[in-house]
Amino acid sequence: MNVYDWLSHMDVPVSQRFDVVEVKFKGGRKEYFRNINQLEFITGDYVVCEMASGQHIGTVSLQGELVRLQMKRKSVVINDDMHVLYRIATEKDLDKHTQAMAREMPTLYRTREIIREMKLNMKLSDVEFQSDNTKTTFYYSSEERVDFRELIKSLASEFKVRIEMRQISLRQEASRLGGLGSCGRELCCSTWLTDFKNISTAAARYQNLSLNPAKLSGQCGRLKCCLNYELETYIDALRDIPTVDVPLKTKKGVAVLQKTDIFKKIMWFGFDKDTNWYPVAISKVLEIMELNKKDIIPESLEILTPQAERTSVDRAPGKINSDLENLDKKYSEEQKKKKKKKSRSGKNKNNANKPPQASTPQKSD
């Protein structure tokens, strides 16, 4: 919720300075106050602010011309009813503020016990004491209307302060409490996001996300705000991708669309009784759809030409498996050569082991 003051280096005369200051309170709440006394502030200073009943202490979050732009963006009008800044907080003021903050957690636990005893259908998420201990604001969320008149009487008699009950949405509750998202970073709603837009399951469908509530829900229990961040990019990319309402017919079988890779422009199809998925480019998908409209069934998802239209050379016997036949001939010839070598070497060994035979004398005539 912090804003970088990129105009802080500009020296503006005191008479021309914008006299409204933005002050931040607990839970990221920001309000605007008039600096009628022309006090000199530094961003982060503690200041005493005027409230409807009493005084409250906050920190200066923004000043100067950027405040004018922020007020214009949030449609805040400057009028005589706008509250003013009294002074920079002193040590006494800060001590009172610390004591008031120390009362918040015990009050929160005790109030939850009272709500449980009264069996009210509401969830108390936060308590904020005013710095002068004259008023307490209770933040709660509920899906239905709650009659808390008896609760206010009980709280006022126990804590001796003025009670204000403020109902907030579940997204506002998450922004006040803060936390870490599934991405590992702080929640967007508690750091920079101020406008909560409607998020539908159509955003998840456009992005091909599985409709799993456990994965798509944020800490507030609603759909994650980040589903809208890349939605326009996905919608632009989907304009070139056709909608396959009917399965594609091929001679291999009926192909059903399983998944679409939007940015790679590839569609994955699967056949009945086949666990494998086959990637097909979008251009080929459009061709197959046009052929099916004309009652022409292609061979498969990759081979679009029907078998009857192929050339006779492709169908000639021996051409399809010619490579395999050549390999078989090669290996068979090598095996024959090896056998001949083995037989020759075996004969040579046998001849060497035989004893020499005595030569018989030849008869003379």
d(CA 355, CA 350): 10
| 310 vs 230: which has the higher pLDDT | 230
- Per-residue pLDDT, averaged over 25-47, amounts to 86
Q: What angle do CA 100, 102, 103 make, to 5 degrees?
A: 70
- The answer to whether residue 345 scores a pLDDT higher than 70 is no
Sign, CA dihedral 215-220-223-224, equals negative
**pTM (2 d.p.):** 0.65
Confidence at residue 348, expressed as pLDDT on a 0 to 100 scale: 57
Confidence at residue 177, expressed as pLDDT on a 0 to 100 scale: 84
d(CA 258, CA 322): 37
Across 230-244, 295-309, 336-350, the highest mean pLDDT is recorded for 230-244
The answer to whether 270 and 255 have CB atoms below 8 angstroms apart is: yes
The secondary structure of residue 241, as a DSSP letter, is S
- Per-residue pLDDT, averaged over 299-328, amounts to 54
Number of neighbouring beta carbons within 10 Å of residue 64: 19
Confidence at residue 213, expressed as pLDDT on a 0 to 100 scale: 86
- The answer to whether residue 220 scores a pLDDT higher than 60 is yes
Confidence at residue 61, expressed as pLDDT on a 0 to 100 scale: 87
